Amino acid sequence: MAFRMKTLAGMICAATMFTFGTAWAAEPEGIDINIADVTREQAAAVASAQVELHEEELIPKVNDGTKIMINLANRGLYLFEKGVKTKLYPIACGRYTNRSPVGYYKVNEKEVNPTWVDPADRSNVVTSGPSNPLGYRWIGFNGYYGIHGTNNPSSIGTYASKGCIRMLEEDVEDLYERVEVGTPVEVFYNRCVMEKSNDGTVVYYIYPDAYDCQPLSVEQINEWLHGYGVECFESDDAIKEKIAAEDGQPTFVAKPFNLTVNGKTLEWKAVQKDGIYYLPVYQMAEALNMPVYVDNAAGMVRTSYGTATINNFKNVLYINADEAEAIFNINGGKYSSNSMV
């Protein structure tokens, strides 16, 4: 159990988790606690608090797009500044029986050098220093839950706390300087993380289901890849293997481009895979109002202008963009980092 004590208010660093049960933050192991007694102590501490938080105090001084996002499944804390992801910090979060709470919150307090009070023995008070389980920074965001340092850095990257978010000391001190009271905090549990890398390639990760609450299917992954326009470029067998491995390692799929033909932006994307740019055959033909004839046995597609080799990705036909002029009598290319015309 871990409690932090405000100088005047004697506030407790622990919380009741409404969704998953009772959870406590940043405590040493091996302490037997009467939960009912502690809950009563919490209620008394809140009732006697001398510092009240008003709604206006939770509004950031400048709404500049700064926010904290925490994914419990990959044990990562993302910092967004001016709407751009600038930092990814490793964390430790709540163990299976004391899961960290998911939801939308705001930073409600910040404190340097917090004091820890042992709830099993209130006379056991640990002031700021190397033996303090809370480290040297506290960023509260949900009742008694908070983001803080730790005197057990080996726990980072694991499910070790009783609800709070632990960080390496240098990381939490860096984060502390970048956020303020009122900064939004979003806590979620996503085993599949899908995003674009710096060069625009869609990449996805699958993490173990530590909370045993989020099964994944090939259909789900395909649906999410479809949102990026690259579902045809990752086979179902590869997705199955990825789900089974749940290793948290990146899988790079392909790079999508918005595709514009004769001024019309198509629903389907142009896609770059292994250095080749692919164009969707039927969608191109429809946009050009041009009939096409496919010979699957020969692996060819034909129009009145010529022929091209077809590439079948999960029963969707593509051609190499280099052959677009020969088969469709058009030319063009990459217009920007995310579009082809």
Residues annotated as catalytic are: 148, 164
Among residues 109, 71, 66, 114, which one has the least CA distance to residue 90?
Answer: 71
Query: Do the Cβ atoms of 118 and 1 come closer than 8 Å?
Result: yes
What is the rounded distance in angstroms from the CA atom of residue 244 to the CA atom of residue 327? 42
Among residues 68, 24, 22, 11, which one has the least CA distance to residue 164?
Answer: 24
- Long-range contact list for 28-34, CB < 8 A, 24+ apart? 28/2, 28/133, 31/1, 31/118, 31/120, 32/120, 33/1, 33/119, 33/120
Beta bridge partners of 334: 340
Query: Do the Cβ atoms of 145 and 106 come closer than 8 Å?
Result: no
Query: Do the Cβ atoms of 27 and 159 come closer than 8 Å?
Result: no
